[in-house]
Structure 1
Amino acid sequence: MAKKQIFLMHYAGGDCYSYRFLTPFLHDTEVHTLELSGRGRRINEPLQSNFKDVIEDTLKQIRKLLSAPSVTLYGHSLGGLLAFNVAAALEKEYKGSMKLVISGNAGPFVTRETSWHTLSSENLISKLRTLGGTPDVILDDPGMFGFYELIIRSDFRVAHEMASWGQEKINTPIYCLMGSQEEHAGRIDNWANYTTGNFRYQLVPGGHFFIYNYPKLIAQHLLSDQV
């Protein structure tokens, strides 16, 4: 049995392959890349646009795999909010030690002025270009974007509703990373309001998808037992 398990939760529009840049740096531990329905390995399953269903679906994936005495949950952007809510539920049933690492998200009730899932296709493409992370080959091809748009809109809706949902504090310690150029980077310490455990954060140069430039840094925090 592994001494530690790491569960990775992807960002909006992502899938189980979104952390291929990161997993080579996660040595000597058991890593599981989780996935929302309607994409990747789960392409034949319907998309879920209710955030509570998404949380429960993710919990089911973890419960089937959970076996180690130590667990780290990691999520970027939407995945960060999802990991937080998963931690809140797991605290009630998991007896081992748990740690939460979040990137690209300033926490509950820190939302965009406009809900991106309500934007026109043209405006959504513009926002995605600015945000980064979505290949131009998808944004420039109407056919490819038409398919991807269904996924990203569903995920943005889930993220918006999850960020706007009241949540009590968790006991799990939180470490948060954000890019210094992100829209809400100045509010990164908002996460301190949602844990009774240790909280630390770090701002690094870059925008929302700074993670691609810092795989070693992220891996370091995922592998460490400390926050």
Structure 2
Amino acid sequence: MTTASMTGQWLPYGSAGTGTRLFCFPHAGASAAVYAGWRAAGNGDPAICPVQLPGRAARGRETPHHDPEALADDVLSGLGSELTGDYALFGHSLGALVAYLVARRIVERGGPPPRHLFVSGRPAPQLPNTRRELHALPTGELVKELRALGGLPDVLLEERSLLELFLPLLRADLTVNETYRHVPGPPLPIPLTVFGGVDDPRAEPAELAAWQELSADSALFTYPGGHFYLDDRVPELLDVVRTRMAA
């Protein structure tokens, strides 16, 4: 497989654009398609580049990662030379952890760092997990938790066979998110912006604010809503992205 085709697996919508390329990492169980609508809202500034992780959509035959460090290494290997020039990273929930780990690796390995790191809907990675872990819950209890968050499409609730196909990927993603153990290090030399919903039961405002310990140049923006507060605020979030990157 050529380098171009390998990169195409990771970037199903491409990465071309005249503005800053914003590589976007999805939440647990989601595919790159969750950011498809962002592309029009971004209008090329930034150029929205949804990232397709293994185990979903056209990569559905691939085994999803269960280990956060291995996933971050795979992202770096897969995106390769795309992570150069004028680019930034965004991630929501699980995606926030992935974006952070990728940024940290790039800095530690002396690569060209992203212009900005944007994270959303996840407690800061250095905080201990004090919540009930979801990845190993029985199916009924897991579905109940996800329904409360609003993170389970209705079609999966209505079609048990589809749900059973979806759960291994979701459990793998939740394992990545819940088994990460932070290794202390120096603050990132990258501006950091944190987003979140004030009523998010999985990421309270104080847990979001703790991200600011990881960069000397940081800002926090919270909005009404729960874990998926951002679904109705894409233009607003992208305005903040533009403003923060121009600062």
Instruction: Give me the TM-score of the superposition, normalised by structure 2.
Output: 0.84
Report the Cα offset of residue 60 of structure 1: 2.0
Q: 2:223 aligns with which of 187, 204, 215?
A: 204
- Higher deviation after alignment, 142-151 or 15-24: 15-24
Q: 2:47 aligns with which of 23, 30, 46?
A: 30
Q: 1:191 is matched with which residue?
A: 211
Q: Deviations over 1:33-68 (max 9, x none)?
A: 112211112112112111111101111233232342
Q: Is the 8 A contact 2:113 2:190 kept in 1?
A: no
Q: Is the 8 A contact 2:83 2:114 kept in 1?
A: no
Structure 1 gap ranges (5+): none
Q: Is the 8 A contact 1:101 1:221 kept in 2?
A: no
Q: 1:176 is matched with which residue?
A: 194
Q: 1:47 is matched with which residue?
A: 64
Q: Deviations over 1:98-157 (max 9, x none)?
A: 201111112112535211001110000000100113211112321011011101100000
Structure 1 pair 209–4 and aligned structure 2 pair: CA distance change class (3 A): same
Report the Cα offset of residue 161 of structure 1: 1.7
* Secondary structure class of the residue paired with 2:196: strand
Q: Is the 8 A contact 1:107 1:190 kept in 2?
A: yes
Report the Cα offset of residue 97 of structure 1: 5.3
Once residues 221 and 100 of structure 1 are traced to their aligned partners in structure 2, the CA distance between those partners, rounded to angstroms, is 13
Which residue identity does 2:25 align to in structure 1?
M
Once residues 235 and 241 of structure 2 are traced to their aligned partners in structure 1, the CA distance between those partners, rounded to angstroms, is 10
Q: 1:11 aligns with which of 27, 33, 46?
A: 27
Matched, 1:123 2:144: no
Q: 1:79 is matched with which residue?
A: 95
Q: Is the 8 A contact 1:34 1:61 kept in 2?
A: no
Which residue identity does 1:221 align to in structure 2?
V
Matched, 1:63 2:80: yes
Q: Is the 8 A contact 1:19 1:33 kept in 2?
A: yes
Once residues 118 and 173 of structure 1 are traced to their aligned partners in structure 2, the CA distance between those partners, rounded to angstroms, is 35
Matched, 1:214 2:233: yes
Report the Cα offset of residue 96 of structure 1: 5.5
Structure 2 gap ranges (5+): 1-16
Report the Cα offset of residue 3 of structure 1: 5.1
Which structure's relative contact order is higher, taking Cα pairs within 8 Å and 6+ residues apart?
Answer: 1
Structure 1 pair 19–166 and aligned structure 2 pair: CA distance change class (3 A): same
Report the Cα offset of residue 5 of structure 1: 1.6
**How many equivalent residue pairs?**
224
Once residues 110 and 209 of structure 1 are traced to their aligned partners in structure 2, the CA distance between those partners, rounded to angstroms, is 22
Once residues 58 and 13 of structure 1 are traced to their aligned partners in structure 2, the CA distance between those partners, rounded to angstroms, is 17
- Higher deviation after alignment, 101-110 or 113-122: 101-110
Identity of aligned residues (%): 22
